[in-house]
Structure 1
Amino acid sequence: MNINGKQWIRSRRRRCILISLAVFLFIVLLFVILGVTVFRVREATTTVNSVKLGGFKAGFNLPNLGVDLNVTLDLDLTAHNPNHASFRYGESSAELFYKGSQVGEAAIPPGQINAGGSERMNVSVTIFAGRLIGDSALYSDVLSGSLVFQTTTRIPGRVSVLGIFKHHIVTYSSCDVTVNVSSRTADNSNCRYRAKL
């Protein structure tokens, strides 16, 4: 082989390597751009649409000098997934608090929310009356005509982008609920929402 033939082979190899490197860099750049824009993980949200009083019974138990209380709150929740991949969530919970003490809990079954979709969930939380018996503030609240509860929901899950990148997300919602004893209604006021990646 002569010198021109060797230079031609080297030049051709160099050209193939440079083209391959350019294609590889283009693909990497494309994935970086898609990862930062389209496939960027956004926070899923959980909102409380309404809180209704499913069941309510309150009265004084004179022989035992106590209060009989049975309250069921029906929470209408919407979980929204703004991501371009589905959001799978595991066993979740809705909890009910009275004056800082947990007095009720309900399980939210696992599920999946499609990309860009929303899912409505109806959850019924019943009060554990035994946990309220010793609370002296309960008697004055029943006499005043309103009981203030706090509801919290926690939905942990994960978003899997292209089946490769998995991101864990936990959504939280918290609402103050006022139960009117005389009209037997519930109002949700002052709800707060947040998510944690």
Structure 2
Amino acid sequence: MDGFSGKNKRSSRNKCCCCIGTTVCIIIGIVILIVILALTVFKPKRPVTTFDNLTLKDMDFSLDLTGLKVHVNFTLEADLNVKNRNKVGFKYSNSTAFLNYRGQLVGEAPLPANQISGGETKAMNVTLTLMADRLLSNSDLFSDVRSGVLPLNTYIKLSGKVKIGLFKIHVVSTSSCDFSVYISNRTIGDQNCEYKTKL
């Protein structure tokens, strides 16, 4: 009877050890699978912000040579694309698009917070209205207008998060475009853009 009881205890202990071993193996396998997926399929990728088109609207311009005064007014429309290359959504907070003249802020437009699904490219249309009073205070304006070329820059910074499993990864995507406004024919040229992203 004691021998039978001892066998049962050993058998029960063996089953328990086997069960624990199997559970540990399954847990290790799941952890390895999560790590592999995190480093391959779900590896965080940088969202890319690009300017596709810049258009001048309602440009009003006059030059007073005797009084050395300049009057410039226009609206700039920018077609912006944000491509989320991740398999999961990219959620970004409120931001602002800036219009600069020789390093000085002369226009801005809000970019409301939003979310972009995995693999999606979101198109945005941004309208930047020139703050003429800020532009007129710059001493280089008169000579630039006389030359017929106005050097400008647009800058956008999107700050948000990509959620991979239990982790939220902070992402910052910036785009900066230098371009020239040709006053005589009211067109845009010499566009040069730089795009950067930080994880």
Check the 8 A contact 1:59/1:67 in 2, yes or no: yes
**How far does residue 62 in structure 1 lie from its aligned partner after superposition?**
6.8
2:181 to 169, 173, 179: 179
Query: 2:92 matched to 1:89?
Result: yes
Query: 2:49 matched to 1:13?
Result: no
- Give runs of aligned pairs for residues 78-157 of structure 1, distance below 5 A: 78-157=81-160
For 1:189 and 1:53, the matched residues in 2 are separated by: 13
Please, which moves more after superposition, 142-151 or 34-43?
34-43
Partner residue, 1:48 = 51
Secondary structure in structure 2 of the residue aligned to 1:39:
coil
Size of the aligned set, in residue pairs, is 196
For 1:84 and 1:170, the matched residues in 2 are separated by: 17
- CA deviation string 1:3-28 (max 9, x = no partner): 32322222111111111111111111
- CA deviation string 1:52-85 (max 9, x = no partner): 1122111125796421110211111100001111
Partner residue, 2:76 = 73
TM-score, reference length from structure 1: 0.93
1:188/1:73 CA distance change after superposition, 3 Å: farther
Query: 2:61 matched to 1:58?
Result: yes
Partner residue, 2:192 = 190
Report the AA paired with residue 82 of structure 1.
R
TM-score, reference length from structure 2: 0.92
The unaligned stretches of length 5 or more in structure 2 are none
- Percent sequence identity is 39
Report the AA paired with residue 88 of structure 2.
A
Secondary structure in structure 2 of the residue aligned to 1:132:
helix
The unaligned stretches of length 5 or more in structure 1 are none
For 1:143 and 1:123, the matched residues in 2 are separated by: 29
**Aligned residues: CA RMSD:** 1.6
- CA deviation string 1:133-156 (max 9, x = no partner): 222211011111110001101111
